[in-house]
Structure 1
Amino acid sequence: MKRVLILTNGPGELWCWVRPVVPLLKEAGCHVTVRMLPCQFATGQEERVASMLGADCVVPAGSSLGTFMDLRNEACDLVLQMGGDLLYGFSAARKTTPLICYSYGRKSLMGYTERFITAWPQMVPEATDVVGDLVADAMYMDKGPSPWKKKGAYRLALFPGSRRQIRDASLGFLKEFRKFLDEKELSVETLTVVSPFAEEGELDIWSRAGLNPVKTGTGVVLKEADLAVTQPGTNTLELLHAGVPAIVAVPFSFLRQIPLSGIKGLIESKIPGGGWLKENLLRRIAKKQAFISWPNRLAGRRIMTEVTGDITPEDLADTTVALLKDPEERSRQRMELMELSGGPGAAAKVSALVLAELYQDGLI
């Protein structure tokens, strides 16, 4: 039995990339180990969620140095890295084990992997393989009854984020947003799509705030949604594949809640005034970035509505109502999103590339 070691780090990578690939590798007869890498975006729930994916073994994240050293002794026939620094992958692969990486962006040392896979060619022009987006496959796995209950109302999905500190920061903001939305005398049913990495107690908190939280799979929620309000990240790709128009919002009041990576994150956490420095850095980055959502970045033009800056809950409610009352604009967004989506199928292609590398002699 061939042994595949999957390395992954953040909640988005685990749920949207690893989840659809593991069952296909298991069906092909592989022994699959999922190993979590250290990640500043970790929620603390990754091991619990990873254990639900059907892998033979799940190894929780340790310290950066400890993980790097442990991987040198990892016995496997192939390393599939889906998130994190490639140094971890090379530590596990050493000189004799093939390393395949799936990524949305360039990485240092990417030219030394056996294959460097991406979703769209504009993400990594130098990629050896462009297979489509695994997020589409993950959404196809979401099953269950529709959570929408109110007939004749606009259906609005809210995405407060996969990271606890950002969800906590957004709770008060979205509660005020909902209050201003109610004042518009528009029939709107709101569902707050809570991350699968959220603890059960959080549902009560969001419910008491009147924001109607659900842990239903995103693919199920979005089938009947008219509009979504979200933050930048993987959620914007889920909306892309579902063809759901969206407002992607970054109120600057949230900036101190966004984790920084690498040395910048270390400085921010250790020095006095680090939070202030981080907020100013992120303000400068936000002003320089042409687009903040994945669909707009991929298309190189505005598809989704984006709002950033010192926006208030009332500002966001006004923008939401205007878009709900504009069926032509929502139809335009929906059509252009579906044109950009390649649909599901990436997981089968990734699995096929892994198996081709494992069985180069043609004997499976």
Structure 2
Amino acid sequence: MQEASLVVVMVSNGPGELSTWVKPLAEQLHSRLLIRPRYNNSSVSLRLVLVPCPNSTGTEKKAASKWNQFEQITSAKNFWSLLINPRKYGYWPSKGLVIFLGGDQFWSVLLAARLGYLNTTYAEWVARWPYWNDRIFAMSENVKKQLPKNLKKRCIVVGDLMADISNQAKIKKPLPEGTWIALLPGSKKAKLSIGIPFFLELADQLAELMPNCRFFLPVAPTTSVNEIISLSTSANPIAKEYSSGIAKMVDSKNEKSWSKLITNSGTEIFLNEEYPAHTYLSQCNLALTTVGANTAELAALAVPMIVVIPTQHLNLMEAWDGLLGIFARLPFLKKCIGIAISLWRLRQQRFMAWPNISAGRMVVPERMGIISPKDIAKESYEWLSSPQKLNDQKQNLIKLRGSKGAVKKTNDEIIKLINSIKK
């Protein structure tokens, strides 16, 4: 089999970016070009390079492999080795294109320079290394405005890749009738160790207030049903602080049914291990979620949400990324970090959820501090009892999404670059 003469390298980091940016772009690129791995005789190869990032979980390569979109996937732990000796990871032709789609933009700059390829960046908020980019795909005009005047011509405003999620989430499999609440307790173990006990008790409390509601828990690819069950037991010290637990798990009988967890109080929580679960999430009346990339996905799907950030458990603070996570790991700060960060956030009026950050105002409620499942259950009941409030939040989320078509526009530019490189 002849080697490819041109490589398109997508650079990314965590599960959120992979599912909402990388996957749709790769799928559409395959639908428009005859490229590898689907067409082994093609001269163009599509590859994925994962980069070091605190938001990554270590399971990204496994998740992306299931899509059958890439001829080769390099894991984050091998990134530096790839930079030092690319030939160790296969044949790299002299012509190629690197596309930044998550992580630190500098990694794609380094990789493109090492391979001698063109470098492009999808810039959500800012293009940090514009002089090292041959092309910048901007989410908004604001990104372009920040560029030096002589570099603006390198920038094309393509729109928000997240806005196309709702197009991808076509309702082929409608949820059964009922009021559906999505539970998103986190994807990292440190967050799940708090999220699972907290959300189990929250489900029990809400089921008591609204007996006819139904719960849906999409299992992140970075965890498993067994881990979720384990974190609900005494093996997890935090679980001892909550009254709820998992009584049993009922496996699905066939492909048309889901497995479900049944709590000690008899609340049923349906599980879905397909990833991403956008088709089902988009049909939920309300989502109860931790902070993270999932708030951007829910916003793109226009699913009303309540963002829950309980700071009473110090493990959660250690799971945070960036400077806060570093501070939270310092032993002498552990006793006061939860209260300190809560007060600081309130005084600074900073937002944690993507819709609020994007809008610069409170679009979705963020509940931070020493909060209880009972408090969130009561608030959830109030939202679910007010269809107008839910619809108002949904409409606000739709307005934030921006126009659709970013995936196609970005692919148009990628194909133009591929054709120019081939000449």
TM-score by length of 1: 0.85
Cross-structure match for 1:116: 136
Is 2:411 the counterpart of 1:351? yes
Establish whether residue 233 from structure 1 lines up as the match of residue 247 from structure 2: no
Contact 1:72 1:94 in 2 (8 A): no
* Superposition deviation, residue 313 in structure 1: 0.6
Indicate conservation of the 8 Å contact 1:43/1:164, yes or no. no
- CA deviation digits over 1:57-109, x for unaligned, max 9? 11111167545434698655111111222332222211842211113333542
Contact preservation (8 Å) 2:218, 2:273 = yes
| Superposed displacement of residue 264, structure 1 | 6.8
Contact map agreement 1:137 1:346 (CA 8 A) in 2? yes
Cα distance in structure 2, aligned partners of 1:97 and 1:247: 43
Residue 94 of structure 1 aligns with an amino acid whose one-letter code is A
Q: CA deviation at 1:322?
A: 0.7
What letter matches 1:106 in structure 2?
V
Question: Is contact 1:6-1:82 (8 Å) kept?
Answer: yes
**1:114–1:158 Cα change, 3 Å:** same
| Partner SS, residue 340 of structure 1 | helix
**For residues 220-245 of structure 1, what are the alpha-carbon distances to aligned partners after superposition, in whole Å with 9 as ceiling and x for unaligned?**
11332211111223222222232222
Q: Whole-Å Cα distance in 1 between the matches of residues 226 and 6 of structure 2?
A: 40
CA–CA separation in structure 1 for the residues paired with 2:226 and 2:293 = 24
- 1:94 match: secondary structure: helix
Shift of 1:280: 6.1
Give the RMSD, CA atoms, in angstroms.
3.1
Structure 1 range deviating more: 1-10 or 280-289: 280-289
For the 8 Å contact 1:256–1:278, the answer to whether it is kept is no
1:163 equivalent in alignment to 2:177: no
- 63, 73, 77: which one aligns with 1:49: 63
Structure 1 gaps, min length 5: none
CA contact (8 A) 2:108 2:119 kept: yes
Task: State the AA in 2 paired with 1:211.
Answer: I
1:6 pairs with one of 7, 10, 33: 10
SS in 2 for 1:319: helix
Which 10-residue stretch deviates more, 166-175 or 134-143? 134-143
After superposition, residues 243-282 of structure 1 pair within 5 angstroms as 243-254=302-313, 256-258=315-317, 259-261=319-321, 272-273=331-332, 275-276=334-335, 279=338, 282=341
Contact conserved, 2:96 with 2:421, CA < 8 A, in 1? Answer: no
Once the two structures are superposed, the pairs formed by residues 147-186 of structure 1 within 5 Å of their partners are 148-149=175-176, 151=177, 153-186=178-211
Percent identical: 25
Letter of the 1:33 partner, please give it. Answer: R
Q: 1:33 aligns with which of 47, 55, 77?
A: 47
Equivalent position amino acid for 2:156 in 1: D
8 A Cα contact 1:119 1:134, kept in partner:
yes
Q: Deviations over 1:33-63 (max 9, x none)?
A: 1011112222221111111231111111116
For each residue in 1:1-45, what CA deviation from the matched residue of structure 2 results, as whole angstroms up to 9, or x when unmatched?
421111111111112111111123334233111011112222221
CA distance in 1, matches of 2:308, 2:145: 29
Q: 1:304 maps to which residue?
A: 364
Instruction: Give the 3-state SS of the residue equivalent to 1:44 in structure 2.
Output: coil
Stretch deviating more after TM superposition (76-85 or 51-60): 76-85
Between stretches 309-318 and 69-78, larger displacement belongs to 69-78
Q: Distance in 1 between matches of 2:377 and 2:401?
A: 28
How many residue pairs get aligned? The number is 360
CA distance in 1, matches of 2:87, 2:213: 54
Does the alignment pair 1:192 with 2:206? Answer: no
**What secondary structure is seen at the aligned counterpart in 2 of 1:77?**
strand
2:160 to 115, 133, 136: 133
Please say if residues 161 and 167 of structure 1, whose CA atoms lie closer than 8 Å, have aligned partners that are also in contact: yes
How far did 1:179 drift?
1.9
| Paired residues of 1:42 and 1:163 also in contact (CA < 8 A) | no
Is the 1:251–1:308 Cα contact (8 Å) retained in structure 2?
Answer: yes
String of CA shifts for 1:312-348, please: whole Å, max 9, x gaps: 1111011101111111211211222222223542222
Amino acid at match of 1:244: V
Distance 1:97 1:352, change over 3 A: same
Going from structure 1 to structure 2, the CA distance change for 1:143 and 1:198 (only over 3 Å counts) comes to farther
